[in-house]
Structure 1
């Protein structure tokens, strides 16, 4: 049995990249790369990752900007692009709205609010960003506290998503009443 390595071999990486290039058109590759970037990135850098020309990447990035999927920072040269996290949140809320009824969403929000209240009582604050994780005595206590704060942040995010999904369901697919 081969020993597990968390780092894939170069051959595996090349094979996956080739399948991606062959199975995805240029727009799809630019879209995939744009959703994967977390810092401002130029169209040339995105083109390099998406394996396309800089002109093609720029054209598709402008289209993605018009669609609200990415944001363009035009203050300097060259223009830099970042993914629009609000678009991803809206997409996830829309998925929830498609899958659940208003009643199910309300029940889920109540359960999440109960969990949030447990964290607020445990840490004696309503804001997880005010909690210090490093004033604990040992590594395990620090790790447990970091995990709890991370979960608390996730619960707060989920509450926002489910509330957005509720609005979408109650307004026939719109964020605000038509």
Structure 2
């Protein structure tokens, strides 16, 4: 343990899953992967036997958490669609239709503000350098911050709208 770590604090970033069981270590490793990765590489990162990693990766594949690619050797990658679906389901379960509608309105208002400010329909349509140069009060960092927030608001609005639709269907089925 380094001198800066307390025994009761979180593990270091390099060994974030040291206290977890093997399933959690494999799951945590999968969450961090950004490209197809072999079971052996995942096992190495999760500090477990490759056979054990393959077992859990097969199970995660059946659940839709990972996508298995039939290359040689087989590779696995995180299934972002699964996590998106899970997030939307959680939003629908945790919030009423009215709460979800209100959040969609708030996000839409923020998005419209950015559209008006930058005179563009999407963040991708903005030339950040030109926008910063044509502004007396916005630096390039401010513009990039706005564009990132705008993109996030657009993604969140889509999630909340999908959750609202799902919750509305669920509420109608219960009646």
Taking structure 1 as the reference length, the TM-score comes to 0.79
- Consecutive unaligned residues of structure 1, counting only runs of 5 or more, are 1-7, 174-178
Q: Distance in 1 between matches of 2:37 and 2:53?
A: 12
Per the alignment, residue 69 of structure 1 pairs with 65
Mapping of residues 137-176 of structure 1, within 5 Å:
137=133, 141-172=139-170
Which segment drifts farther, 59-68 or 148-157?
59-68
- Consecutive unaligned residues of structure 2, counting only runs of 5 or more, are none
CA RMSD of aligned residues (A): 2.7
Residues matched between the structures, number: 162
- What are the Cα deviations for residues 15-50 of structure 1, in whole angstroms up to 9, with x where unaligned? 93779444x322221111111212221111110111
Q: Distance in 2 between matches of 1:149 and 1:9?
A: 39
Q: Distance in 1 between matches of 2:81 and 2:164?
A: 17
Taking structure 2 as the reference length, the TM-score comes to 0.81
Report how far residue 57 of structure 1 moved: 0.7
Which segment drifts farther, 101-110 or 80-89?
80-89
Per the alignment, residue 40 of structure 1 pairs with 36
Partner secondary structure for residue 71 of structure 1:
strand
Report how far residue 11 of structure 1 moved: 8.2
Q: Distance in 2 between matches of 1:19 and 1:31?
A: 12
Distance 1:167 1:132, change over 3 A: same
